Every structure is written in structure tokens, then in C-alpha cells.
A and B are shown apart, each in its own frame.
Chain A
Amino acid sequence: MHLMNSELFTLTYGALVTQLCKDYENDEDVNKQLDKMGYNIGVRLIEDFLARSNVGRCHDFRETADVIAKIAFKMYLGITPSITNWSPGGDEFSLILENNPLVDFVELPDNHSSLIYSNLLCGVLRGALEMVQMAVDVKFVQDTLKGDSVTEIRMKFIRRIEDNLPAGEE
């Protein structure tokens, strides 16, 4: 597998986010845009992922969570988040990222306090799962950039998408 220098990767993502911050007036729009870009990456990335990883169909959401954390994150970001905080119904869980490679070096300036810097990841997860007939809600609940000790992504299963048509958001 080809490897990319992690600083170059981090700086590339940083350049993307700061450019968005210049192009949009408020942080909410930037968050939305990051999510949309992530979505477009996700719907493509899932094909690559399925082709390369040879994972089969998941039987329940717990299995999906395992695949995301142990295979997908490992493959694309080189980290393995831990899975915790399952809801009693088994339809909601948290991914805990000890270190997030996207935010190396980053310090959020005070005037961007509501910016969700790594929101691209949410979009990627949402887009990828949508292509395998799962509608999910993904959001950050903790972020090291905002002073939390870990980064936590909360994922909630909404429903199975019955027909095979992807929603047109591109």
C-alpha cells in the first residue's frame, strides 16, 4: 500500500478547512460544507473499501461498528478508535479517537469556536453507510480541539434504506 507523509496530509486538510473559513461567513456553513464534501468522498470510498477489504455483509449494527473502527479507520487513517457507550437499544454508539491525525498542529482561534474542524469525517461515514443501505446520523460530541481529552464521534442508526437508490445530494 502506498503511504503518504502524515504532515503533508494534515497540512492539506488544514489548507482545505482554512480556505473554507475564508470563503464562508460563518462556521455553520463551513461545517455543512465539510459534511457535504465528506459525503461525496464517502459514497466513492465505500467502493474502494469493499473491494480492498473483502468484508462481507454485516448482520447487525455492532458488526458494522467493528468493521468501521478496526478495518476502515485503520486502512484510511492508520488509527483504531475504540467503540463505547452503546445505547441500550444497540442502535447508537461512540467512536473514541485517542489521537486524531487531522488535527496535529491545529489550534482553533477564538473566533472559530463553533467550527467543527474534522466534520469531514462525519460526512464520509454517513455517505459510505448510505451506499450500503444504512441511514445514520453522525456527529462530534467531544473534540480535543475544544479542550476535551479525547475526540468522540457519536453514530446513530436511523433506518435501513429499502430501495437501492442513493439520495441525490451530489
Chain B
Amino acid sequence: MAVCIAVIAKENYPLYIRSVPTENELKFHYTVHTSLDVVDEKISAMGKALVDQRELYLGLLYPTEDYKVYGYVTNSKVKFVMVVDSSNTALRDNEIRSMFRKLHNSYTDIMCNPFYNPGDRIHSKAFDNMVTSMMMQVC
């Protein structure tokens, strides 16, 4: 259901980005890249309120003709961006939220791997599998 999932470091470079192989990869890279501005905007606009509520989920960043882009930012300013097919109307806010939470937990596990150096690109089979399952999952 998700067509592209990306993890972006605090300094806005990608730690991980993967999209469904059937589509043009570069297109999604652009989409994710553009979304970062919206993420920054959202954070600074309601930064204070977000911190107070401890709300990490940013909601819909912007819709395009074919896709919807959602964002999530951790307290350490690592961003998760997810692109989903907008024809998939069954996907509700709550499900997106729980997918992000799963992503966040998985990311935490990677950070705890002693062989992973923070800031490096993510090469983890466990993370790969989790992302694949999110892309395959049917709603």
C-alpha cells in the first residue's frame, strides 16, 4: 500500500529510501525531497504545540494527483516520509499512524545495533523486511 518509504536524518540527508520497483524511482526521490520543506514548515509553525503534546505524527504533508505524502518526525529530528497511492481510500489516518509507529520501533532497533554507526545509511535485513511488508500489505 505504501509506494515509497524514506528515513531522513536530522541534517536532511537520506538514511534510507525505498520505493516499489514497478515505478520510476527518481520520481519518488523528488517527491520525498520536496516534502522535506513541508516538514520543516510544519515543525516550525506548530513546533511549540507539537513538543507540548508529544505528538510525532505530522499528518498529511501534501497530496499530488496520484499520491499522498505523510510525515512523522522523532524527537531527535529524524524524519520518516511515506508516500501512498491516493486511490487507496481505505487507508485511514489511524492506520498511517500505526505504520509510522512500527517504522519508528524498527528504527529504534537499528540504532541499538552496535554495528550500526549513527548517521550511516541503513543496511539492515530486518528493516528491509519490515518495509517490504508495509509495501505489500493489502488493505
A residues whose Cβ falls under 8 Å from a Cβ of B = 7, 10-11, 13-15, 17-18, 104-109, 112
Q: Is B21 an interface residue (CB 8 A)?
A: no
Verify B115–A11 contact, CB threshold 8 A: no
Contacts of B126 in A (CB 8 A): 107
How far is A68 from B93 in the complex, measured between Cα atoms in Å?
A: 51
Is B124 in the interface zone, CB < 8 Å from A?
yes
Tell me the smallest distance from the CB of A102 to a CB of chain B, in Å: 10
1/0 per residue, CB under 8 A from A, across B105-138: the answer is 0000110111110000001111000000000000
List residues of chain A with CB within 8 A of the CB of B123. 109
Report A167 CB to chain B, min CB distance, Å.
Answer: 31
* B114 A15 Cβ-Cβ under 8 A: yes
Q: Is the CB of A107 within 8 A of B112?
A: no
Q: Which residue on B lies nearest to A111, using beta carbons?
A: B115
| Main SS at interface, chain B | loop
B125 touches A10 (CB 8 A): no
How many angstroms between the C-alpha atoms of A11 and B23 in the bound complex? 39
Asked if residues A7 and B112 are in contact (CB atoms below 8 Å), the reply is yes
Q: How far is the CB of B123 from chain A (nearest CB, A)?
A: 8
Q: What are 6 inter-chain pairs, A to B, with CB distance below 8 A?
A: A11-B112, A13-B114, A18-B114, A107-B113, A107-B124, A107-B126
A15 / chain B contacts, CB cutoff of 8 Å? 114
Q: Which residues of B have CB within 8 Å of A18?
A: 114-115
Determine whether the beta carbon of A17 is less than 8 Å from that of B112: no
CB-CB < 8 A to B125: which residues of A? 107
Residue of A nearest to B117 (CB): A18
Complex Cα distance, B125 from A109, in Å, reads 10
Beta-carbon nearest neighbor of B109 in chain A:
A105
B10-39 interface (Cβ within 8 A of A): none
| Cα A14 to Cα B110 with chains together (Å) | 13
Cα distance, A17 to B112, chains bound together (Å): 13
Q: How far is the CA of A11 from the CA of B111 in the complex (A)?
A: 10
Q: Which residues of B contact A13 (CB under 8 A)?
A: 114
Give Cα distance in the complex from A7 to B114, angstroms.
Answer: 12
The 4 closest A-B pairs by CB, nearest first: A14-B114, A105-B112, A18-B114, A105-B113
Complex CA–CA separation, A5 to B51 (angstroms): 27
Bound Cα distance A104, B125 (Å): 15
Q: Which of A7, A10, A104, A109 is the one whose CB lies under 8 Å from B115?
A: A109
Q: How close is A103's CB to chain B, nearest CB, in angstroms?
A: 10
Q: How far is the CA of A46 from the CA of B120 in the complex (A)?
A: 41
- Name the CB-closest residue of A to B125: A107
